[in-house]
Structure 1
Amino acid sequence: MDVKDFYYDLPQELIAQDPLEDRSSSRLMVLGKTSGEITHRRFSDITEYLKPGDCLVINNTKVIPARLYGVKEGTEAKIEILLLKRKENDIWETLVKPGKKAKIGTKIIFGEGLLTGEVVDIVEEGNRLIQFSYEGIFEEILDQLGQMPLPPYITHQLKDKNRYQTVYAKYDGSAAAPTAGLHFTPELLEQIRQMGVSIAEVTLHVGLGTFRPVKETDVLKHHMHSEFFQITKEAADLINQTKENGGRIISVGTTSTRTLESAADEHGHLTEKSGWTDIFIYPGYQFKVIDGLITNFHLPESTLVMLVSALAGREHVLAAYEEAVREKYRFFSFGDAMFIKPD
């Protein structure tokens, strides 16, 4: 399977740089999973495609303001750090720019000493382990000093940090937002509940692997970064019950999808579970849990386009993307949405 099989031509001006004022007013392309039929709607019309007895699965992870700017002790050289994974004893795996300035033993000062870090090890791909020192609560200091780690294709910082969070974000830990969920408002979620659709919450802390390009020509040689997930007994029971009763599982986002498909047994049954997943879903994959998917429009040749193609077929997906370009949909994190609906 060649990575070029998942290429499409995207004009730069269609990459959304800012979120819409009203989350649910983005456009919605509805794509028939097996028919490939396309309908153009607004996101708030999603209610017309859900049925009583369905279960909507959302990822309640919260993005941390993981980008920090500091100076190297002694030289005052500027250093940028991105927090990737929390380890024990205030140690984080980080991405450091420029890396050559961050040898083991290097001390970095943030916010005039409010936070300091020391490079204690170098790990795979040149990432650094940094041990932080501070007084008070780390999360509060991070909120004060950190910036949202927006994707590389977004060229400016947000006026309001919360626009890169879903309205149901609960648990700190992501380096990127589960962006399909950005379209929901509390009012829309309440409307969905009132229809008799249940909502199950799972957690997957999104890593920067989300933006990692597939560098291998042969897709099958690509290795996914691992990400932490958690499914509660309550969520597992709700999803299992929905399936037993003939309801459909509609996943909000590729992260919710990867969580469910990682945790399920071969019959699609879920139990309470947590751990790390590096599941890579591409065409040929047989889905065990989900029936439909709400997602955004993803980067050409990305693992996310491959996941969507596994669900709706590569030809249907690429034809839909070409139509989205013609119709001037907004692409990527702050862009419009697609619903792959069960036919």
Structure 2
Amino acid sequence: MRIDLLLDSRQFGGIEAHVGELAKALTAAGHKVTVIFICDYGPHPLKTTLAQQNLPFICLNGNAASVIKTLGARRPDALHTHGYKAGILGRLAAQLGGFGCCSSYHAGEPGRGRVALYNWVDRMTASTANQIIAVSQKIAAQLPPQTRVVNNFVDAQQTISQGLRIAYVGRLSEEKGPDRFIAAAKQLTTQQWHVYGEGPLRNTLEVSASHNVIFHGSQAMHDHWQHIGLVVMPSRFEGLPLAALEAMARGIPVLASAVGDLPRLIQHNSNGWLIHANTEAAIANTIACNVRQWCALTQQRRNHIQQQAKNTVQAHYSADAVIPQFIHCYQQAATQGARYA
């Protein structure tokens, strides 16, 4: 099949990592895949990754008319949109051009201001897609009843990390809870705490952080996973975060808030740990307590948890497990789109 993956992206995050893995896996399965950036914002980690893997991509000028015109001329068998702008414009282009469209919904939080408005429009127009995909049950509940839940996935063929760093990996924004990570670090200053990511809270977090917190900024994480031993994910809102899967594929357990589909991924005290506290002080205390316990684990117990984390991803969140579901969605969308062409 000819499959176009459409997104609007200024920086690297979960959606971008997902699109990169999807392009690689679909290409390996024999499909012709092109990643389309709605606007060219300059150098971008996903562009670099695609170029290194000889995966084709094109950049448009950000104008809605150019998106509709370009997609109408390409007429892929299936267009797969990611994010609200790509969803709104991609579905319109598919209707006008008479080709199939799948829309994925990755985020569970509503956002604020203009973003909240765009998210609302994106959800209200979801039914114009031929196939609607959500990465968690909670997100699916906000969408039309025909929505399919398809797991995020990662390359599960990874070496188990031998690193020891305690890390936050993700966007520095309120819904992801990096302030909770910073608060917990103040309770355990004998350990260094590492922050990987960028976002609107970075300046505030740096000012409030204790001396034992190191900010690395936005990074291509494949160069850093080997140094990490535990990922802390204290989110207020989530779907199924790709960073959690990427960590666990490398045997790195995740200590996470029990939100979104994280409780479906993490079995407490088996392949990771869940945070059930419901006040900010209690959450910080729980994180600090669990980090202390993790640091005190015997090597045998740590090895067991690492292997359990890796096994979970291999069984349920690998390309082999998930890609056939995407291909089925594309086939359905292509048939439905052609029907109305």
With normalisation by structure 1, the TM-score equals 0.30
Larger RCO, structure (CA 8 Å, separation 6 or more): 1
The structure with the greater share of residues assigned to helix is 2
Structure with a larger share of its residues in strand: 1
